[in-house]
Amino acid sequence: MATITAGEVLDRIQKNLGVPWTETTGRDTYKAGGPATVVTGIATTVMSTFDQIRRAQAEGLNFILSHETTYWSDRDLVADLGDDPVYKAKREFCEKNNLVIHRFHDNLHARKPDFNFQALARVTGWAQYETAPNSHRYVLPPTTLGALAADVAKRLGTKALRIVGDPAAKVSRAQMSVGYGMPRVAGDVDVVMSGEAQETDGAVDNTEYVLDAATLGVPKGQIILGHAISEEPGMEDCVEWLRSFITEVPVKLVRAGEPYWPK
């Protein structure tokens, strides 16, 4: 039976990415384990929380390709964590179970098309309405902000969606992003949608602008999905991509789901 190491998996990812691999930011590196580990299965996930790590290990998937961080900071810095019990438990579990975690963030976004944008447009049903390839701008069938948000929530299975604006506002022209990249709701854009955004004191205060627009009867809206919800479909699409050039071991999505719960 053919075997494959974590280093060989990463080498194939780099060769099939379509753009030069970079580690200059310190993000896309090993967070646990190393290249010599023999891989029994690969898990993709949007967040490598302890729950996702434990579930991957239970399924025999010892290489975890995580879009977001493992140790709670942008570059997974651990020097200040010391004897923190959560850090110790997570690290020791990975060591005990011979797990490898590698982040796949900057290089995933560098790929054309970006998995996360492509997948979110597919899951929401917006892809067919894109005005130009990779523009992330859409002319949707005319609807109301409330109806659009309800459809997005149903398609994504989210219960903690946040919407700003008049639910009855007529919208059609939309711009989408993922993660932190909330577009600006201005000009001919009726509604913007992304993972998360500041309410105020940002470079662009969409929330306040949309509230003012609603008061004045100008149809504008903002849909805030949640960071993980906006990018999890991309890690699901990543599974099929990996399966196209890694056949020695199973490749599966370990779904993170929504970290928030409504009350």
Per residue in 121-142, pLDDT tens?
A: 999 999 999 999 999 999 999 9
Between the alpha carbon of residue 65 and those of residues 25, 51, 101, the distances in Å are: 17, 14, 6
The string of pLDDT tens digits covering residues 197-211 is 989 988 879 999 999
Q: Please determine, for residue 9, whether its predicted confidence score (pLDDT) is greater than 90.
A: yes
Average pLDDT in the chain? 96
Q: Please determine, for residue 79, whether its predicted confidence score (pLDDT) is greater than 70.
A: yes
In this predicted structure, what is the pLDDT of residue 186? 86
As a whole number, mean pLDDT of residues 2-30 equals 96
Min mean pLDDT across 45-49, 54-58, 125-129, 183-187 is at: 183-187
Q: Please determine, for residue 172, whether its predicted confidence score (pLDDT) is greater than 70.
A: yes
Q: What is the dihedral of CA 105, 22, 80, 92, to 10 degrees?
A: 70
- For the chain, residues classed under CATH 3.40.1390.30 are 6-111, 115-227
Q: What is the amino acid identity at position 122?
A: R
CATH (one of 3.40.50.300, 3.50.50.60, 3.40.1390.30, 3.40.190.10) for 6-111: 3.40.1390.30
Distance CA 207, CA 165 (A): 8
The string of pLDDT tens digits covering residues 215-255 is 999 999 999 999 999 999 999 999 999 999 999 999 999 99
As a whole number, mean pLDDT of residues 171-190 equals 95
| Structure tokens belonging to residue 172 | 């059609």
The string of pLDDT tens digits covering residues 139-165 is 999 999 999 999 999 999 999 999 999
Between the alpha carbon of residue 66 and those of residues 38, 130, 136, 142, 204, the distances in Å are: 18, 28, 24, 37, 29
In this predicted structure, what is the pLDDT of residue 1? 65
Percent of the chain with pLDDT over 90: 93
Residue 13 dihedral angles phi and psi, to the nearest 5°: -60, -45
Residue 9 dihedral angles phi and psi, to the nearest 5°: -60, -50
In this predicted structure, what is the pLDDT of residue 97? 98
In this predicted structure, what is the pLDDT of residue 77? 94
CATH number assigned to the domain covering 115-227: 3.40.1390.30
In this predicted structure, what is the pLDDT of residue 263? 84
As a whole number, mean pLDDT of residues 99-118 equals 96
